[in-house]
Homo-oligomer: A and B are copies of this chain.
Amino acid sequence: MPSLKRKDKAAATEAPLDLGPLGESVGYLVRRAQLTIFKRFFELFAEADIRPVQYSILTLVERNQGLSQTQLAGALGIKKTNLVSLIDELEARRLVRRKPGGRDRRARELYLTAEGAALTLRLHRMDAVLDRRISRTMSVGERRRLCSILRQVAAL
């Protein structure tokens, strides 16, 4: 009788764990899905050296040129001090630039550089590939309803 392959052996000797109430917990399952999505995102965006939060920043600046750091932090739900160091990094890579605000000179308006704009377009195409892969697990109608439910949960 042929011996089991390493992976089959592990599967045969180790039954899946009992997750108890976690197996039916929306919170736990959202977290597990999010961890997998981040893992796939990191693989896909590694060549561009871009993390998920950096992609969100670039997209929001692209779509809302001249927005303030305060507006951006609010939209992303992150602390302004954390955002400032994220912007520092993107500015050092010449993807984003800060300009003094028109109405309030202490405020900083954010813009994409030409290089940042070109990269962001390329990232959108990469993200669309990942989104199609994720969306294959559901119908178009389910996808629409899922997005709507996730927006409601995010606003809880």
B134 adjacent to A27 (CB under 8 Å): yes
Tallying the copies of this chain within the complex gives: 2
Q: A17-B60, A30-B33 are in contact. Are A24 and B150 (CB under 8 A)?
A: no
C-alpha gap A156/B35 in the complex (Å): 11
Q: A18-B64, A22-B56 are in contact. Are A32 and B75 (CB under 8 A)?
A: no
Q: Does A81 contact B (CB under 8 A)?
A: no
C-alpha gap A33/B52 in the complex (Å): 15
Number of interface residues of A (CB under 8 A): 60
Q: Does A50 contact B (CB under 8 A)?
A: no
Interface window among A94-102, A111-119, A137-145: A137-145
Q: A20-B59, A134-B156 are in contact. Are A127 and B35 (CB under 8 A)?
A: no
Binding site for B on A (CB under 8 A): 14, 16-22, 24-38, 40-41, 52, 56, 59-60, 62-64, 67, 71-72, 75, 77, 124, 127-128, 130-131, 133-135, 137-138, 142-143, 145-147, 149-156
**CB pairs A–B below 8 angstroms (25 shown):** A16-B75, A17-B60, A17-B72, A20-B60, A20-B62, A21-B124, A22-B60, A25-B127, A25-B131, A26-B131, A26-B134, A27-B127, A27-B131, A30-B30, A30-B34, A30-B37, A32-B154, A33-B151, A33-B154, A35-B154, A40-B156, A137-B152, A137-B156, A142-B149, A146-B146
